[in-house]
A and B are shown apart, each in its own frame.
Chain A
Amino acid sequence: MVETIVSVGLPIDENLEIKKNRITPLKPLTGNEKRISIVTGIHGDELEGQYVCYELQRRINDNIDALAGIVDIYPALNPLGIDSISRGIPAFDLDMNRIFPGNENGSMAEFTASKIINDIKGSDLCIDIHASNIFLKELPQVRINELTKDALVPMAKKLNVDYIWIHSSATVLESTLAYSLNSVNTPTLVVEMGVGMRITKEYGNQLVDGILCNMKELGIWTGETCIPKEPIISTDGKVSFINAGASGIFVPDIQHCSYVEKGKCVGNILNPLTGNIEEVITAPEDGLVFTLREYPVVSEGSLIARILKTETKDEA
C-alpha cells in the first residue's frame, strides 16, 4: 500500500510528498513481523536504487506466499532532486544527507528529515542505496562506520556485495541518514554502487539477491535465495587514492573493477587544445580498482580512482 509519510506545501499549487510502499504478507499480520526498509534517492542524481526498488517488488510479488514480514520501500527521499536532476534539495542547494536526524520544529528540510527518521526508525534492517555521483563508478560495496562495524558487518556480508569498506568516523558524517538511524538502534547499511544518472542492471540484480538473503535471515522471506558472495573486507589503511595532478580530459587505460600492478598506466589526462598529455597516471600500488573516474573533465585534485591494495590477485 502506498503511503505518504510527509507532505509539505510548495508555493504554487503543488505539495512535496515523500512516499513509501508497504508490502505485507497475504496472511493477517500478527504484530510480530520483522520489517526491512529499502531507502534510496537522497541524492537526486543517484538512480541505481530505482531499479532495485522495482526489481525487489517484482520478485516479491511473483512469489508473495514467501513473504513473511514487512517490506517498506522508499524510492525517492528527495523527489524534487530526482525530478530536476539535482543532487541536493533544489532551491536550497542543500545536501539532504547532511541534515539528519532533522528537527520537527526546524526548516522545511529539517522537518522532512525528521519525519523520514521517525518513519524508518524501528526497522530490523534499513538499506540506504547510493550510486556514487556522476563522476565516479563504484563496485557494489557497503560502507560502514568503524563505530558500528560489530553490529553491521555480519549483515553486510549477506548482502552479496563485492566489498565492505570500514571507514573511520568523521564528525561531519554524523548528519547522515545512516548515522542517525544507527544511533537510534535501527541497523542501517549504506550501499554504494554504479555511477550517478545511470542504472547498471547487473549491479541492481546482484543487490536484490543480497537483500533477499538478508530478508531470509530476518525471517521476512521464505523463498529461494542465492549464496551471497564472500566480500573483501578492508579498512581505510588498505585503500589508496589517486587524484589528478593536472586539469584536462581523463581517458582511462584500464577497466573498472580490474586488478592493476604498481606502476601500470591507469589513464592519461589529455589537453585537447595543445595535443599534449598533461599527466600519465600510474597505479601507486598493486590492487583492485574499485572506484574509477567516469566523467572525463578533471581539475587538479579530482578523484581518478581508488585502489584496494592487495598483495596478489589471488589473495583478493
Chain B
Amino acid sequence: MVKKTLFELNSIYRDNLRITGYKFGNGEPSVCIVGALRGNEVQQVYICSQLIRSLKIIESHGKIEKGKAIMVIPSVNTYSMNISKRFWPTDNTDINRMFPGYNLGETTQRIASGLFEAIKEYKCGIQFASFYIPGKFIPHVRMMKTSFEDVEDAKKFGLPYVMLRTPRPYDTTTLNYNWQVFGTNAFSVYTHETDNIDIPSAMQAVNSVLNFMSLNKIIDHPVVGLNESVVIDDKDIITVKSKTAGIFSATADVNQHVLRGTTLAEILDPYTGETKSRIKSPAEGTVFFRHNAPLTYANAVMFRILPDKSNRSITTP
C-alpha cells in the first residue's frame, strides 16, 4: 500500500486541504473508490476505512492480481467534515456539482479538477454516494443512463438491486456522470446511512466492492453474500409524500414488503400527539427508501416504494 497526496490546496490559517489516496497493487489503473465528497458523509469514510483494512490484508497475501492497481480515496472534502458542514466551508458549493472541474477556476472547481485528473484513467470508478434527503435506502448500485453504462458489470457487486437513472440537468456535473462520459465504468453505491455509521450496511458495501473486484479478476478473494441483483429503473419507483407536517413516526422500514393501503407512517401533531394523517402505500411492493428525520414538512418525500415485478418497466433480474 502506498499513501499518496493526490491534490493539495494551501490555506492561510488552516492546515492544507489534502486529498489522500491509498494505492494497492501496480500497473493498469483498474478500480478507483471514492468515499465522502461532502462533509456529512461519515458512513462513506467509514466504508473506505474498512475497505483499506481489507485490501491491506489482501495485498499482504499477494492476492492482488499482477498488473492491476486499486485506489481508495476516503474523503475529498475534509475541510467541511472537520467543521460539521455538508458543503464547502466558505461559499457552500458542492464539490459533486463541479466535475470535471477547471484548474484555473474557483476553489471547488480546482478541487474537482485536481481529483478528476488523478482518477480519470481508472477503468472502473465506484463512489459511495448519499441522497439529499435524510433517509435510509435498501443498499443498491446506481448507474446513470449515459449510453456508456454496463449493467452486467453492476451485477457483480451482488447487491440486491441495480438501479438505472436517467440523468437530469444537474447530474451532468457529478463525478459519476463525468467518469462515464470520460470512459470510466462508473457506479454509485448507496447504503443505509450517511451522517451516522451503520456497521452492517457498511460491511455489506465493503463486501460488495470486494466481490466486484474478485469477479473482475482484480483481486483473488472469496466472493461472499452475492445476491442475484434485480435491475430496476428509477422511474418505476413510486414516491410517497406526506400531506401534512409534524412529527414523523414510521411503522414500516426499508426492505419490508407492503400491500396497497398498508400504513407506512403516521404524522403526529407536535403539540398534542394526535395523529394528523397516515401515510399509506399506494401499491403492493417493497419499501426502497424511508425518510428518517424526526420532523417532516408537508409534501416531503417520506417513502419510495418499488412496486412488485408486474408493475415495473424492467421485469427481468
Contact = CB atoms under 8 A, between A and B. Distances in A.
A243 interface: yes
A1 interface: no
A108 B298 contact: yes
A11 B247 contact: yes
Nearest to A135: B91
Nearest to A100: B169
Nearest to B8: A300
Given A13-B271, A107-B133, A174 B169 contact: yes
Contact of A299 (B11, B244, B271, B296): B11
Contact of B299 (A92, A111, A172, A302): A111
Given A9-B297, A172-B169, A301 B105 contact: yes
15 contacts: A8-B298, A10-B298, A11-B246, A11-B247, A93-B92, A135-B91, A171-B169, A173-B169, A175-B170, A249-B12, A299-B9, A299-B11, A300-B9, A301-B107, A301-B109
B87 A300 contact: no
Contact of A93 (B87, B97, B247, B271): B87
B104 interface: yes
Contacts of A172: 97, 169-170, 172-173
A121 interface: no
B241 interface: yes
Interface in B267-303: 270-271, 295-301
B248 to A, nearest CB: 9
Contacts of B9: 247, 299-301
A186 B217 CA distance: 56
A75 to B, nearest CB: 22
A303 interface: yes
B251 interface: no
B42 to A, nearest CB: 16
A172 B99 CA distance: 11
B241 A107 contact: yes
A8 B299 contact: yes
Given A8-B299, A13-B270, A273 B245 contact: no
A133 B295 contact: no
Interface in A104-127: 105-108, 111
A88 B93 CA distance: 10
Contacts of A171: 169, 172-173
Contacts of A9: 244-246, 297-298
Interface of A: 8-13, 16, 87-88, 92-94, 98, 105-108, 111, 133, 135, 171-175, 241, 243, 246-249, 271, 273, 278, 297, 299-303
B297 A10 contact: yes
A281 B86 CA distance: 32
Interface in B231-273: 239, 241, 244-247, 270-271
Nearest to A246: B10
Interface of B: 9-13, 86-87, 90-92, 97, 104-110, 132-133, 168-170, 172-173, 239, 241, 244-247, 270-271, 295-301
A300 B10 contact: yes
Contacts, number: 101
Contacts of A243: 104-106
Q: Which of B9, B239, B298 has the most CB of A within 10 A?
A: B298
Nearest to A107: B301
Given A93-B132, A174-B169, 12 more contacts: A9-B245, A87-B92, A106-B239, A171-B172, A175-B169, A175-B170, A247-B9, A248-B12, A297-B12, A299-B107, A300-B107, A301-B108
Given A11-B295, A92-B132, A301-B107, A271 B12 contact: yes
B294 to A, nearest CB: 9
A13 B247 CA distance: 12
Nearest to B245: A9
A16 B87 CA distance: 24
A94 to B, nearest CB: 7
Contacts of B301: 106-107
Contact of B297 (A108, A173, A273): A108
Given A9-B245, A13-B270, A172-B169, A107 B300 contact: yes
Contacts of A247: 9-12
Contacts of A93: 86-87, 92, 132
Q: Which of B13, B106, B110, B295 has the most CB of A within 10 A?
A: B106
Contacts of A174: 169
List the 5 closest A-B pairs by CB distance, nearest first. A9-B245, A9-B298, A11-B295, A301-B107, A174-B169
Contact of B106 (A107, A108, A111, A301): A301
B214 to A, nearest CB: 37
A108 B297 CA distance: 7
Nearest to A174: B169
Q: Which of A98, A247, A273 has the most CB of B within 10 A?
A: A247
Contact of A10 (B10, B133, B245): B245
B15 to A, nearest CB: 12
Given A243-B104, A301-B110, A11 B245 contact: yes
